[in-house]
Amino acid sequence: MGILLLKVTGLSKEFDGLRALDQVSFAAEEGEILGIIGPNGAGKTTLFNLVSGIYPASGGEVAFQGKSILGMKPHQISRLGIGRTFQIVRPFQNLDVETNVLVAYGHRFYPGLWNSIGPFQRPDILREVGMLIEGTGLEPYRKQLAKNLPLGIKKRIEIARALALKPSLLLLDEPSGGLRFEESAQLMDLIRKVSDQGISVLLIEHNMQVVMDLCKRIVVLDHGSKIAEGSPEEIRSNPQVIEAYLGKED
């Protein structure tokens, strides 16, 4: 066991009587890519929404670097070092790639959009933005409006925006969802690169091959509960996991 980064204990969420998440516990270590899988509606995105402070939990505990973060606001949690992307991409469609990333820098300090652009057009920050844009493979699109770019590139923008906040933990909600094989493979290379830089990753992913390739450890959710945790080999041969997936296929 490496250094503990995130500890989720008995985490639950109810929406109008529906248990979207039911007593889920797991831990993530520094430097790992932990896979989170499960059929549609299993509670994966809800888990991210609780950890990133978008929704209040109905019960349980979330500790990041040994400190409880439950009840904190999303911007407080992101300042502590937890970044995230969303299942449905949402860059600023009418801004170019560079400005999208620049705004993310400003967001650490200013909530308003325009507030966060002006003060941050400093040479040092522009240089950092440039490095991020290169590092995430966005250089060719730098001056293009987000709305004119394909989904695979928009997903890169989202990752660049999350990285601008200098996270130590990145929550990625189905980064390869909706992408063609080629785009998806390129995005996985980017995730591996991010991980190599020492950033820990929680990866929600539908594509089994992708999860099995990237993750040494996987947590499986079904109907809000954790039904399994282990190595790709263990998960692949776990009867409960097979049942959960087969049961959904009809």
Ligand X SMILES: Nc1ncnc2c1ncn2[C@@H]1O[C@H](COP(=O)(O)OP(=O)(O)OP(=O)(O)O)[C@@H](O)[C@H]1O
Question: Given the rule CB under 5 A, which residues bind Mg ion?
Answer: 44-45, 87
> If contact means CB under 5 to 8 A according to the sort of partner, which of ligand X, Mg ion, none does residue 43 touch?
ligand X
Q: Which is nearer to ligand X, 131 or 151 (CB)?
A: 151
Residue 96 or 222: which CB sits closer to ligand X?
A: 222
For residues 201 and 34, the answer to whether their CB atoms sit within 8 Å is: yes
Helices and strands in the chain: count of H runs, count of E runs: 9, 10
What is the distance between the alpha carbons of residues 56 and 71, in angstroms, rounded to a whole number? 6
- Catalog residues that contact ligand X under the rule CB under 6 A: 15, 18, 20, 38, 40-46, 87
SS3 84: strand
Tokens 């109905």, located at residue: 58
CB of 125 to Mg ion, least distance (A): 33
Pick the closer one to Mg ion by CB: 116 or 184. 184
The residue (of 49 and 116) whose beta carbon lies closer to Mg ion is: 49
State the minimum distance, in angstroms, from the CB of residue 31 to ligand X.
25
**Cα→Cα distances 84→132, 177, 185, 236, Å:** 16, 15, 20, 27
Smallest distance from ligand X to CB 205, Å: 10
